[in-house]
Structure 1
Amino acid sequence: MPARSSGSAALSPRSRASTPTTSTRPRLPPHPVVEAGRTAYLAGQCPLDPSGALVGQGDLDARIDQVAANALAALDVVGAKPDQVVRSVIHVVTDDGPVPAAAWERLTGSVIGSAFTTASTLLGVAQLGFPGQLVEVDLTVALGRPAAPDGDPRGGAGATPERALA
């Protein structure tokens, strides 16, 4: 899926910021995917459809499903899969104890379920960024080593002992 580069001058030469093309959000600033070295930080994934409209008025499950779809698209921007997520933070608007647990169950059963098998924090919060938003997910992804110029997936020269001896 193509990405739009933000061209941010604050990023180092080894960093890149992109916004998934599915994230056209006229009401909100873009929530970029920032790739720094071999780590990517996926900013808060919200329950918005490609037009920027809030999905599932009052329906937490519908919103979680949209967040999962948006997160999957954001992972695709950096060539990652859910099982490469090394940290997640899930925010759920509620003052009811069982609601975050239900959100957790929905997320772990979703298309990005394997993202939540590592360091995860689940928070019940009073409010999120815009009215009616019930859930948001932040992800940190460990990206694989870049392939060597010759296409060797073990990485560039010296990346492994085998390459150093070759």
Structure 2
Amino acid sequence: MRVFSTYDEITAAAGEALGSTDWVEITQERVNAFADATGDHQWIHVDVERAASGPFGGTVAHGYLTLSLVPWLGSQIFSLETPGAKLNYGLNKVRFPHPLRVGKRIRCSATFSEVTALPAGLQVTISSTVEIEDEPKPACVAESLVLLLDG
């Protein structure tokens, strides 16, 4: 894991691939817990029997479940340890190019695609790709924004 403690270190890493996580299995239990937390119990996510004959040949993770894992996965790649507050500022772009079947394994890679100095600190655009093991397309490609405020 890369640890960044200064704005200069973060700025110097702009455009550089920061690494990838280990593989993580997506379980039906995780999908069911997400369905319970969000109220999204669509059969393609939670009905194992029905989904087996559905369009994906089994249950699939919610796109937003995959997206919600990006910060946790990212924390295995890098840590922002600057003195001030760190704020989730939002997303520029999110796509779900390939369904994520339950039982598959994923990993995430990340890049600081853009670093912008602001009067109150730094804005970091993080490009993350969530790969699916043995699949040609990723489950999620996301561009998220983090504000690092002066301490």
Give TM-score scaled by structure 1 length. Answer: 0.30
Q: Relative CO higher for 1 or 2, CA cutoff 8 Å, sep ≥ 6?
A: 2
More strand by share: 2
Give TM-score scaled by structure 2 length. Answer: 0.32
